[in-house]
């Protein structure tokens, strides 16, 4: 849904959808290959084009869309893919004739209902279709993040109370170890960490047992292996540096340095070959070698001497730390034994938490997104769905987790197409596991009968200068060890003829590295010099250089990417703005209500786009992507007597980029209105956040997480938080006056953004700020530490001394986390450097000492930033890409005001006046625009008592209970005993609580099941809780006399499809009030219309059944 900066695939629109002309050889191979195909698609390599071609050709070969499953990362991607498929199918139909044309037309009709969506959407649909096999209700809701936290807290409270009451000794000792000031926060965090990793496993018990088993062997198990491999890597770097310096010392007569270098290098070599116990022995005797003094003599190479000293110190640090940690073998074993007991208990607590959490959710008929995956996994494990789909397509396959992989693999037919790029897997914090992609690729490479692996390494985005720099850097630094990918062998971009501009000439562009030194501890002078360079270079590009479309580049075509919202990044934005460059620094904004306002505006526009001010605010937000000057042009389109929305509709008809952009926004709003018809507001907001990657924006605004913002918004709406948008907004507004609106950033400004938030986007001009230490090697640890794979590290606790000590497990898990962070950071560098289409400038402030040796000397320790990596590659291999180390700036940084919003550029006066004129207009037919976009049948005539058109009119709670019973009961149950047995089953399954079951009048249920209509139900195919949505004139739902269409949503209690087609609506009222009966009749006619137009065809009867009287009323005959 992002309208600006979208990744370009390849321009094959003029070609037939079935033609392979214009595809690269790799794309062609991927499309033509039969069977299972895995595509490793580098940045900008045209993966979506290949996927669309593959799907269209499958349709042409006779595989209908309804028999395909297409899984994508978010719903925005699903909508984009649908649009592209729609265009391709339409074009294919136009270019075909006869049966082939009819085939494409049928699939075009089926596109709206095709299985194209997220893994969660698929899991939800699968569960809804098979709820009886799982013993759950089909009417479950999905918890928002805030709601999930509350349920989790309740479950945790229950579990902890049970442990305390049972006086569990190990739990008490564990709580003593992890509780501080009588607070359980650390213990709760540890349990949640284990639970989070466990819940994404297809077999939770097997996973937990495997992790427990890892504690069986202290010095020969997984924890020891991780530490041994880490030490080997560190010492290998030291050895390599020392061996490279031996000829220098020999040539300059530095005998003592040469001798010690040989001895320390040999010590390192021995440790590289040793196991855990062997390294302990070597470390214990290393002091004799490491303590030998050395003396510099005349003629020494100063750099060689300094580097040798650094290497000696690094080796001493490694051996000393190892000896201090594991020199006492008995203590190491004792500490590990305590760890094993506590880790086992933590997993036990997590398992009991899972049970308690599940019970609470089942009682309230709710699920989490993880539950969707869990129950879907149970279904594919216990039922055979292997043949359900004839073809499966998976996008962003590198970001799946273990349980998602289990589901996908269980459904995988012979024809499958999976595409992704491990080099761009940067979401480990979401528990994505790139190892799944790598394992499948390795399997396909080694066994061609299992599948085919194809590499996409052509790039349709960037000029050759950018691609050349990326290649020469990542060929060296991106290896299987550093990222899981051998870039030189598998990811190297193909660099051929350079990109051309609109005039047919080569497109302008470059890649450069600029280092800005600073003295002392303050980097302000370096950042100021960097900012001045950025500002100067932007001014030299804007209005002079042209983009691919031949138009001059503007400020809005430039982006500065920073690692995080740090004080240094903020300072950089301030200094750039101080140089007279218009800056969109919205990521540093501090207004706490901005995200809330933007999301509420979005809902308001969905509900009623003719509300002018919210519409203008929405369009200026990141969701709309317009700026003030564009709104002014749109306002000029307003027809006489119309309002601002009419101007938007008129602007969408323009045959220019603004018209296309406006039309795309209207299509996007239509898509979300459709979603709003069958989703609660919290679910809808969650979808918006996911589709626009709004979490990154909210984090940038300093408002925490988007989930917390949604939770706050929905809490203000109270009980109406799950209702339709209109009621939700009314409750939200009545909860209190909103804070004043703050106009979101927009316009032709240089944007500041974080690396993560810019994944999937691109810009003609990119400044990559890479200053600072981005890889931290694993952050400081608490007394318990968990890894994504479930490993647990705990500090040892001496109960006598009341003191902690770091253990083998803590050190190992810290190392695991550090290695995972290092690998993900490498992939993040790749994402960063592949965003630029034309101009890429890598910039950063660098400490003076490092700057002086940039590219001139090796690094003894592992690189900690991208500039470190570039320096190392330049030293070892040389770089063709120009690298500049600037002089230390002697100019004092200016005093600047803190950047709070993007405010450097102001709109023109005439633009502002046009916008004010547009949004200030009052539409003369305002009453007509009061219609909501969607109504639920149960809310059409909301009131009280029998006049309410809910599923049960009076005594709603009791009615809901009967509704639950009829939703799950076996219609074949006869007699009171059989009904009681059914109620006991539902209670055991959690469908009913014991209190609810006690309220059920068994005789009323028996009477219902023995009624003629239910006897017919036993003999027929039945649909329970059949949901629908359809457009009808507003007048048909009692909303005035307007013929404007509104969307109506409802749920049919029972649809009998036998020799007669009958709709049955269960009521808990007496069915005697004539006014109520008329309203019920209107409701049932809507049900009938929905069934006849959408489901099965003609409906013969629409009936009301009363539990109160046992009476059946024919709505068309008796009312």
Where are the domains positioned within the chain?
A: 25-139+369-456, 141-200+332-364, 222-327, 510-586+750-775+836-885, 590-734, 931-1114
CATH fold of 510-586+750-775+836-885, please?
Answer: Rossmann fold (3.40.50)
43 assigned binding-site residue: yes
| Residue 1038 pLDDT greater than 60, yes or no | no
What pLDDT, on the 0 to 100 scale, is given for residue 15? 52
810 band by pLDDT with thresholds 50, 70 and 90: very high
Choice among 560-569, 840-849, 926-935 with the minimum mean pLDDT: 926-935
Q: Distance (Å, rounded) from C-alpha 190 to C-alpha 623?
A: 37
Q: Range with the lowest mean pLDDT among 339-343, 615-619, 860-864, 891-895?
A: 891-895
Average pLDDT over residues 567-572: 90
Q: Does domain 222-327 have CATH number 1.20.120?
A: yes
Residue 520: C-alpha distances to residues 517, 570, 849, 1110 (Å): 10, 20, 10, 88
How many angstroms from the chain centroid is the CA of residue 972?
A: 45
11 or 553: which leads in pLDDT = 553
pLDDT tens per residue, range 481-528: 899 899 999 999 999 899 998 888 889 999 999 999 998 777 888 999
Of 600 and 731, which is predicted with more confidence? Answer: 600
User: Of 555-569, 600-614, 823-837, 1063-1077, where does mean pLDDT reach its minimum?
Assistant: 1063-1077
Q: What percent of the chain has pLDDT over 90?
A: 51
Tens digit of each residue's pLDDT (9 = 90 or more) over 631-681: 888 988 888 878 888 899 999 999 988 999 999 999 999 888 888 877 778
Per the annotation, does 137 bind a ligand? no
- Return d(Cα 470, Cα 842) in angstroms, integer: 11
Q: What pLDDT does residue 523 have?
A: 83
Integer CA distances (angstroms), 94 to 103, 105, 108, 740, 930, in order: 12, 9, 12, 53, 41
As a whole number, mean pLDDT of residues 555-564 equals 94
- For residue 663, give Cα distances in angstroms to 491, 543, 650, 666: 38, 28, 10, 5
pLDDT at position 918 is: 44
Query: What is the mean predicted confidence (pLDDT) over 563-589?
Result: 87
Within 13 A of 323's CA, how many CA atoms are on the CB side? 14
Q: How far is CA 714 from CA 621, 685, 737, in A?
A: 21, 10, 15
Number of C-beta neighbours around residue 620 at 10 A = 23
Task: Identify the residue with better confidence: 765 or 1114.
Answer: 765
Distances (CA, A) of 308 to 255, 259, 971: 13, 12, 84
At 811, the pLDDT band (50, 70, 90 cuts) reads: very high
316 is in an annotated binding site: no
**CATH number of the 590-734 domain:** 1.10.486.10
Least confident of 1-10, 38-47, 106-115, 797-806: 1-10
**386 — pLDDT class (breaks 50, 70, 90):** confident
Neighbours of 1108 (CB within 10 A): 15
pLDDT at 528 (0 to 100): 94
Which range of 849-858, 874-883, 936-945 scores highest in mean pLDDT? It is 874-883
Q: What is the pLDDT of residue 718?
A: 53
**pLDDT at position 335:** 95
What pLDDT, in 10s, does the model give residues 125-136?
Answer: 999 999 989 988
Mean pLDDT across 32-39: 96
pLDDT of residue 923: 36
- Most confident segment among 185-199, 389-403, 635-649, 1035-1049: 389-403
Give the least confident one: 295-304, 575-584, 796-805, 829-838.
796-805
Q: What is the pLDDT of residue 284?
A: 95
Residues 1098, 1095: Cα–Cα separation, whole Å = 9
What is the mean pLDDT of the segment spanning 345-371?
94
Judge if 25-139+369-456 and 590-734 fold alike in CATH terms: no
- The reported pLDDT for the residue numbered 19 is 84
Read off the pLDDT of each residue in 89-101 and give the average, rounded to a whole number. Answer: 91
The average confidence (pLDDT) of the chain is 84
Q: Is 46 annotated as a binding residue?
A: yes
Contact status, residue 350 vs residue 215, Cβ threshold 8 Å = no
Is residue 745 pLDDT above 50, yes or no? no
Say which residues have a Cβ less than 8 Å from residue 14's Cβ, sequence separation at least 6: none
Average pLDDT over residues 389-396: 96
Q: Determine the average pLDDT of the residues in 827-846.
A: 96
CATH number at 931-1114: 3.90.320.10
* pLDDT score, position 1: 39
- Confidence (pLDDT) at 24: 93
| Residue 788 phi, psi (nearest 5) | -55, -25
pLDDT tens, residue by residue, 1097-1116 = 688 899 999 988 899 999 88
Instruction: Give pLDDT, residue 857.
Output: 86
Burial class (CB in 10 A: 0-12, 13-18, 19+), 737: exposed
What was the pLDDT predicted at 1030? 63
Task: Check if the beta carbon of residue 785 is closer than 8 Å to that of residue 792.
Answer: yes
pLDDT band at 87 (very low <50, low <70, confident <90, very high): very high
pLDDT of amino acid 741: 34
Q: Note the CATH architecture for domain 25-139+369-456.
A: 3-Layer(aba) Sandwich (3.40)
How do beta strands 750-754 and 558-562 pair?
parallel
pLDDT > 70: percent of the chain: 84
41 belongs to an annotated ligand binding site: yes
Given this model, what pLDDT does residue 49 score? 93
Average pLDDT over residues 1055-1083: 81
In 3D space, the residue among 1108, 722, 721, 720 whose CA is nearest the CA of residue 946 turns out to be 1108
Q: In the prediction, which pLDDT does 53 show?
A: 95
Torsion of the alpha carbons at 894, 899, 905 and 910, rounded to the nearest 10? -130
Q: Which of 322-336, 376-390, 457-471, 725-739 has the lowest mean pLDDT?
A: 725-739
| Contacts by 162-165, CB closer than 8 A, 24 or more apart | 162/352, 163/349
Q: What is the pLDDT of residues 257-278, one digit of tens each?
A: 999 999 999 999 999 999 999 9
pLDDT of residue 211: 86
Residue 44 annotated as part of some ligand binding site: yes
Instruction: Please state, in angstroms and rounded to a whole number, the distance separating the CA atoms of residues 823 and 479.
Output: 10
Work out the pLDDT band at 929, boundaries 50, 70, 90: very low
924 pLDDT tier (thresholds 50, 70, 90): very low
Please state the rounded mean pLDDT for residues 138-160.
Answer: 88
Of 137-146, 220-229, 614-623, 969-978, the range with the lowest mean pLDDT is 137-146
- Structure-block tokens of residue 131: 């709820």
- For residue 181, with 0-12 CB atoms within 10 Å meaning exposed, 13-18 middle and 19 or more buried, which class applies? exposed
pLDDT reported for residue 1116: 86
Residues 6+ apart with CB under 8 A from 484: 422, 434, 435, 438, 823
* Lowest-confidence pick of 410-424, 575-589, 929-943, 1014-1028: 929-943
């Amino acid at each position: 849904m992002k309208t600006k900066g979208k990744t370009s695939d390849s321009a094959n629109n003029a070609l037939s959808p079935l033609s392979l002309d214009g595809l690269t050889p790799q794309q062609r191979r991927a499309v033509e290959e039969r069977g299972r195909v895995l595509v490793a698609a580098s940045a900008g390599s045209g993966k979506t084009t290949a996927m669309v071609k593959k799907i269209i050709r499958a349709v042409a070969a006779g595989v209908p869309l309804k028999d395909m499953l297409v899984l994508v990362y978010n719903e925005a991607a699903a909508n984009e893919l649908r649009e592209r498929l729609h265009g391709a199918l339409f074009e294919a139909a136009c270019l075909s004739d006869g049966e082939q044309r009819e085939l494409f037309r049928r699939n075009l009709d089926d596109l709206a209902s095709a299985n194209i969506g997220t893994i969660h959407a698929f899991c939800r649909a699968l569960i809804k279709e098979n709820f009886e096999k799982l013993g759950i209700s089909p009417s479950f809701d999905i918890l928002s993040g805030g709601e999930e936290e509350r349920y989790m807290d309740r479950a945790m409270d229950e579990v902890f109370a049970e442990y305390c009451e049972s006086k569990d000794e190990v739990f008490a000792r564990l709580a003593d170890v992890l509780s501080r000031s009588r607070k359980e926060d650390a213990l709760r965090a540890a349990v949640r960490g284990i639970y989070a990793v466990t819940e994404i496993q297809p077999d939770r018990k097997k996973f937990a047992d495997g992790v427990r088993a890892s504690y069986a062997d202290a010095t020969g198990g997984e924890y020891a292996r991780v530490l041994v491999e880490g030490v080997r890597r560190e010492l290998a770097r030291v050895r390599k540096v020392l061996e490279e310096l031996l000829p220098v010392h020999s040539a300059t007569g530095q005998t003592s340095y040469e001798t010690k270098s040989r001895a320390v290098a040999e010590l390192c070599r021995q440790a590289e070959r040793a196991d855990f116990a062997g390294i302990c022995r070597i470390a214990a005797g290393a002091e004799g070698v490491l303590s030998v003094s050395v003396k510099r003599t005349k003629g020494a190479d100063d750099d060689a001497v300094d580097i040798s000293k650094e290497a000696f110190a690094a080796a001493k640090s490694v051996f000393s730390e190892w000896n201090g940690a594991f020199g006492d073998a008995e203590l190491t074993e004792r500490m590990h034994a305590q760890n094993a007991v506590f880790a086992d208990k933590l997993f036990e607590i997590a398992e009991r938490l899972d049970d308690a959490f599940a019970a609470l959710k089942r009682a309230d008929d709710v699920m989490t997104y993880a539950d969707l995956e869990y129950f879907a996994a149970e279904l594919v494990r216990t039922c055979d769905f292997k043949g359900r789909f004839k073809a499966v397509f998976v996008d962003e396959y590198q970001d799946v987790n273990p349980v998602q992989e289990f589901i996908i693999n269980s459904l995988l037919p012979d024809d499958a197409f999976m595409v992704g790029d491990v080099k761009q897997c940067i979401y480990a914090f979401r528990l994505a596991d790139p190892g799944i992609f790598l394992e499948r690729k390795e399997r396909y490479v080694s066994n061609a009968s299992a599948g085919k692996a194809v590499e996409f390494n052509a790039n349709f985005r960037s000029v050759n200068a950018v691609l050349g720099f990326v290649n020469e850097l990542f060929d060296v630094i991106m290896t299987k060890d550093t990222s899981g990918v051998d870039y030189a062998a598998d990811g190297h971009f193909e660099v051929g003829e350079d990109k051309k501009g609109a005039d047919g000439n080569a497109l302008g562009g470059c890649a450069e590295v600029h280092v800005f030194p600073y003295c002392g501890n303050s980097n302000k002078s370096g950042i100021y010099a960097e900012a001045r360079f950025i500002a100067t270079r932007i001014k030299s590009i804007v209005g002079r250089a042209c983009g691919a479309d031949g138009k001059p580049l503007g400020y809005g075509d430039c982006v500065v990417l920073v690692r995080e919202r740090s004080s240094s990044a903020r300072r950089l934005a301030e200094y750039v703005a101080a140089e007279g460059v218009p800056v969109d620094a919205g990521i540093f904004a501090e207004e706490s209500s901005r995200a809330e306002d933007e999301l509420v505006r979005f809902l308001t526009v969905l509900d009623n786009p003719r509300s002018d001010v919210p519409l203008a605010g929405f369009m200026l937000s990141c969701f709309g992507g317009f700026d003030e000057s564009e709104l002014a042009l749109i306002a000029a389109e307003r027809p006489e007597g119309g309002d601002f929305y009419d101007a938007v509709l008129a602007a969408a008809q323009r045959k220019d980029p603004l018209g296309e952009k406006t039309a795309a926004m209207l299509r996007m709003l239509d898509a979300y209105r459709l979603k709003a018809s069958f989703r609660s507001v919290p679910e809808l907001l969650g979808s918006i956040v996911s589709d626009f990657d709004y979490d990154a924006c909210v984090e940038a605004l300093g408002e925490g997480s988007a989930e917390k913002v949604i939770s706050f918004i929905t809490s203000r709406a109270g009980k109406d938080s799950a209702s339709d948008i209109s009621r939700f907004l009314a409750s939200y507004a009545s909860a209190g006056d909103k804070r004043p609106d703050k106009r979101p950033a927009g316009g032709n400004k240089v944007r500041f953004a974080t690396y993560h938030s810019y994944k999937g986007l691109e810009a003609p001009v990119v400044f990559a700020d890479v200053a600072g230490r981005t890889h931290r090697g694993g952050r400081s640890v608490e007394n318990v530490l968990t890894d994504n794979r479930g490993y647990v590290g705990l500090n040892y606790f001496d109960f006598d001394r009341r003191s902690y000590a770091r253990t083998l497990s803590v050190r190992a898990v810290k190392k695991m986390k550090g290695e995972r962070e290092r690998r993900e950071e490498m992939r993040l560098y790749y994402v960063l450097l592949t965003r630029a289409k034309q101009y890429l400038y890598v910039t950063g402030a660098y400490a003076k000492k490092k700057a002086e040796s940039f590219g001139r000397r090796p690094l003894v320790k592992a690189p900690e930033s991208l500039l470190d990596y570039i320096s190392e590659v330049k030293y070892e291999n040389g770089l063709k890409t120009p690298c500049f180390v600037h002089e230390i700036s002697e100019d004092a940084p200016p005093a600047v005001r803190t950047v709070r919003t993007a405010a450097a550029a102001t709109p023109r006066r005439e633009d502002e006046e046009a916008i004010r004129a547009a949004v200030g207009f009052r539409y003369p037919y305002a009453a007509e625009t009061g219609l909501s976009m969607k109504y639920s049948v149960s809310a059409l005539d909301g009131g009280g008592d029998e006049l309410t058109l809910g599923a049960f009119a009076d005594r709603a709670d009791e009615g809901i209970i009967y509704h639950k019973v009829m939703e799950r009961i076996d219609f074949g149950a006869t007699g009171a005993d059989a009904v009681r047995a059914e109620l006991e089953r539902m209670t055991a399954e959690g469908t009913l609580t014991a209190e609810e079951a006690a309220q059920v009048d068994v005789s009323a249920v028996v009477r219902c099941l023995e009624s003629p209509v239910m006897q017919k139900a036993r003999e027929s195919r039945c649909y329970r809780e059949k949901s629908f949505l359809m457009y009808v004139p507003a007048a048909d739902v009692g909303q005035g006399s307007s013929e404007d269409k509104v969307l109506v949503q409802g749920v049919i209690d029972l649809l009998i499809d036998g020799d007669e087609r009958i709709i049955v609506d269960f009521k808990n009222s007496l069915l005697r009030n004539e006014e109520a009966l008329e309203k019920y009749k209107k409701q049932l006619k809507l049900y009938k219309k929905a069934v006849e137009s959408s489901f099965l065809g003609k409906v013969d009867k629409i009936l009301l059944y009363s539990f109160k009287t046992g009476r059946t009323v024919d709505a068309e005959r008796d009312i």
